[in-house]
Amino acid sequence: MEKNSTFRNIRYPGEIGSFLHDPGKRLVGFHIVVDGRLISRGEFYSKLVEKLAEWGASRGGDLRFLKVYQPYGSSDIVVIFFLDITGLDLTPESMHESLKKVPIFKRVELIKPVIDGLIIDTCSFPQFLAEERAVVFRRANYEAWIRKMREKYGDAFNAILYHIGFEAGQNAYKHLSRKYDTSDRNLLKIASEFAKVLGYGVFDVERLSSREAIVKVYGNFECELFGNAGKPEGHLVRGMIAGFVATIWNVEMDDVEARETQCIAKGDPYCEFHVRKKGGSIFHI
């Protein structure tokens, strides 16, 4: 099997953020909020499609981006869309006024390009994931504090990453267990899916018992920073998994051991982490 082919075949890459870059195009966007208690979803979608059709295909416009969602814990429905109105006799201001006249839209914000050909959703802040504020780091940012700091401070920084990850894993379990009334196995599954959403990797739980856990991670964001290092490099992710599992077992950091037995940084097709309670059976290598 070609290295990492399993990871590539699992999911289609996603794009985070609401933006569009198309130099030379005349772009306009809108952020609309509707009180979902006052209308049916069908009525809302009907009005939205009516307006998009008015400015879109019937007049040569082009819908380039559309996002519709309901904020967690809210009755509001939010829609964000970007249109290419190049060559049309429309102004963003006239479109804005037209949308504001739709009775079911309780708030309509006009989104203008930041520069020519670049439009970004400037209305949505802060970002949340499951009721918690979320901050996105691009690779250049997290590479600076993982790989670059490792180069500066040596292997001692690995222990710091493990400790940070362990506490993050503990906190993740506590948050999810308060939010979802389900089994520990399901909580680990939920955490794995959120880890995918956050871009950490594709987590595959191979084993979870009262003394041992084995987790495979495809596309591990941490280990891919190190190329062909020839040794395991997943210290932050190792800590995250260990912290989550230790909290399931109701034990502390000193009561568990966690190892990365396979790693993409040493040529393996995925990273594999083994966590066990101290005093239990040996690791499976």
Per DSSP, helices labelled H in the chain are: 5-10, 41-55, 92-100, 139-143, 149-153, 156-179, 184-197, 235-249
Predicted confidence at residue 123, as pLDDT, reads 94
Task: Report whether pLDDT(283) > 80.
Answer: no
Task: Report whether pLDDT(58) > 60.
Answer: no
Question: CA 249 to CA 169: how far, in whole Å?
Answer: 13
Task: Report whether pLDDT(269) > 80.
Answer: yes
Predicted confidence at residue 4, as pLDDT, reads 44
11 compared with 15, residue with greater pLDDT: 15
* Homologous superfamily, domain 139-277: Trafficking protein particle complex subunit 3 (3.30.1380.20)
Question: How many C-beta atoms lie closer than 10 Å to residue 101's C-beta?
Answer: 8
Predicted confidence at residue 5, as pLDDT, reads 43
Q: pTM value?
A: 0.85
Average pLDDT score over the chain = 89
Question: CA 53 to CA 30: how far, in whole Å?
Answer: 15
Predicted confidence at residue 59, as pLDDT, reads 56
Domain boundaries, the chain: 19-133, 139-277
Same fold, 19-133 and 139-277: no
Contact 55, 117 (CB under 8 A): no
Task: Report whether pLDDT(56) > 70.
Answer: no
Task: Report whether pLDDT(191) > 50.
Answer: yes
93 compared with 130, residue with greater pLDDT: 93
Question: CA 236 to CA 160: how far, in whole Å?
Answer: 8
Residue pLDDT, tens place only, 200-235: 999 999 999 999 999 999 999 999 999 889 999 999
How large is the average pLDDT for residues 85-107?
A: 90
Quick one: which H or E segment has residue 63? Answer: strand 62-69
SS3 159: helix
How large is the average pLDDT for residues 56-60?
A: 55
Span 19-133 CATH architecture: 2-Layer Sandwich (3.30)
